[in-house]
Every structure is written in C-alpha cells, then in structure tokens.
Amino acid sequence: MDPADFLRSAENLKRFSRRRFLAGSVLGLTLAADLFVTRQIQRYREDLEILRVRDDDAERRFPSASWFLFPGYKTSWEETVWILNSLRPVLASRGQLAGVGYSNLGLDVDDIVAAVFRYIRNHQLRRVYFYGHSFGGMLAVEVAARLLERGVAVELIILDSSPAGAQDVLDRAMFTGVAALYDAGYRIPSVLRGGYELGERVLHKDERTWETVMDQTLEQLSPLAPSTTLIQAEASYIYHYDVRLYSGALGNTSLAFIGNPEDRTVNYFGAKYEWAAAFPGNMVSTSLVTRAPGPPTPARSGTPASTRTWCARCCGCTPRRSWAAG
C-alpha cells in the first residue's frame, strides 16, 4: 500500500466513535450467539417427535384412546403443545393428547407415519382420533390412509380450516415462490429469513396491526421457530397436494370440516366443498363454524390475537368451547 493511502486510511478511522464501534461489536456478538443457539436447538429437533401432553384424568378414563394433533404451517413444537392445551377441555373428554413435532430437516411423511404407528403400538391404543390444524388436516388425511394399510383405523379426523389443495390458499404469490425454490433444490438462508417473514406479513397487512406484524416476524426469528427447510418443505407439500389421491382410501373414518367463512388465509367455501366432494361417504359435518372477533389486539395486552368458537358436537360433546388461535 502506498504510504499516503495508508495515512489517509488511518485518518479516516478517527471518524468512527468508540460508542459506534462498541455498539457494532455487541450487535455482531449477539447475532453470532443467536445463530449458535438457533443451530443447537434446531439440531436437537432434527428428529421427529411425538409430543405427549399429560392429562392424568384423560389417561385414567381413556387408557387406550388418544388424539394426535397435526399442527399447521410454521407451527413450532411449543405452539403445538399450546394448541393442545387450548383444546384440552374438549379433546380430553374423548382421549389422551399428543401432537406431532415435525423435524427441522424437513417434512418426511414416511417418518411421520412410522412415528405415529410406533406410538400407537407402544401405548396399546385401540381408538385413534386426528386433529388437523390448517395444512395439518391435509397431512392427517394422508397419514390416516397410510395407517389403514397397516391395519390401524383412525375413527375421526377434524379438519380445522384445512385447505384441500393449493387452490384453496388465498394470495399464493409468496407461498408458491417458496415451494418453487424448495423443489428446485434451493434453501432460504437464515440471513434472509427476517426479510422473507416480514414481507409475507406485510402482504397480509389487512389481518394485522403493524405491531402484530413485527411481533410475529420476530417470533419466527426465535431459535424455537421451525427451520427454513421445514417451512419450505411444508409449502411444497401444500403446493403439490392432491386430495383425490385419498378419496376412498379412509375406510370408515369420519371427517368433520370446521372453519371461518371470513378466513383470509384459506378459501373456506372452496375447501369445504372440495373435502366433501372427495369424501362423500366419510364427511359427517361441514356446518360447524369458527369465528374471529374483530381486529387483532396488541400482543402486550395478553389477549389472544383471535378467538375461535368451536362446537364440539363432532367429538361427542354439546357445550361450545372457545380457544385461542395462534
């Protein structure tokens, strides 16, 4: 380096204050620590796990019956347990509670079928019920069809706001792009995750306040959030799902569709019609409606962003229960 250039570079260093230098260093260290923690947690969750939610009363009353919750798009293990606990007053009146914790390596249906089958055998379950939350309903139907081939019949599948295919997902632009990247072998790097999450929520700003947009974006950047690989795999699964493949493959399994006619994520009327058309002999109800009471409230208030009311008639109960929808 020319001595004059060296001296000019040294002079320019004086323009950076110690405070800015220290702030940048702290930010860099914080990011490095967050990435380290994220890698550790996501490595721990590389194995699929059946998440059991203990309920002593349900286990005593129904030792051989259990629900399996198939969580929706981008749902973490913690949120899966939270949803199960929210549904506990209704579901525990029929069986024990368990949820599928998807692997951060991606969505492998073979592994899910094997894990659920193994859990059923290990716990000597004779009555099995599935609860499919959003895209989880699509997965629940496929798993039920494949379990029947192994001699295990699922008695009931609840399809909670579940699309019957990609055509039922409203505003599919970003969702389709994520699936296309995954199918082409590209994975969204962690450094771009924040921009992707923020952009997706801004596109659906009509459903959220700006504070909610930022809260949900930061939540997806948490070390506990599902990996980008899993999210892309879920998007690809939804994009390629063909409900007609499972028509006639469920035996005597009963299906019930519930949803919100004002849903801005899933086409309620289209999904309800397509599920009923694919399973005319299995569908026992499409009339139960959930609702969201007005605009989301700020997260700091402690009030859930939305509340759904579900009539539990499909599960053999008569009272109406409310549960918070994440």
Tens-place pLDDT, residues 21-44:
555 555 454 444 444 444 555 566
Structure tokens at 214: 């930022």
Mean per-residue pLDDT of the chain: 78
Residue predicted with more confidence, 220 or 224 = 224
Q: At what angle do helices 136-149 and 228-240 cross, to 10 degrees?
A: 70
pLDDT digits (tens, 9 = 90+) for 268-320: 999 999 999 999 999 999 998 887 544 333 333 332 333 333 333 343 333 33
pLDDT digits (tens, 9 = 90+) for 82-115: 999 999 999 999 999 999 999 988 999 999 999 9
Res 176: pLDDT? 80
The string of DSSP letters for 172-196 reads -HHHHHHHHHHHTT----HHHHHHH
Q: Is 125 left (phi over 0), alpha (psi -120 to 50) or beta?
A: beta
pTM of the model: 0.75
Cβ–Cβ under 8 Å, residues 261 and 268:
yes
**Cα–Cα distance for residue pair 63/127, rounded to 1 Å:** 10
**Cα–Cα distance for residue pair 213/206, rounded to 1 Å:** 10
- Position 117 pLDDT exceeds 50: yes
| CATH classification for the domain delimited by 49-169+232-324, as one of 3.40.50.300, 3.40.50.1220, 3.40.50.1820, 3.40.640.10 | 3.40.50.1820
Cβ–Cβ under 8 Å, residues 71 and 79:
yes
Cβ–Cβ under 8 Å, residues 207 and 264:
yes
Res 173: pLDDT? 72
Res 172: pLDDT? 76
Domain ranges of the chain: 49-169+232-324
Res 137: pLDDT? 97
The alpha carbon dihedral of 288, 272, 242, 207 has a sign of negative
Res 304: pLDDT? 31
**Cα–Cα distance for residue pair 73/126, rounded to 1 Å:** 29
Residues 156-178 have a mean pLDDT of: 88
Res 310: pLDDT? 38
Nearest by Cα to 120 from 47, 45, 50: 50
How big is the chain by its Cα radius of gyration, in Å? 23
pLDDT digits (tens, 9 = 90+) for 169-211: 987 776 787 788 888 887 776 556 656 555 665 555 555 566 6
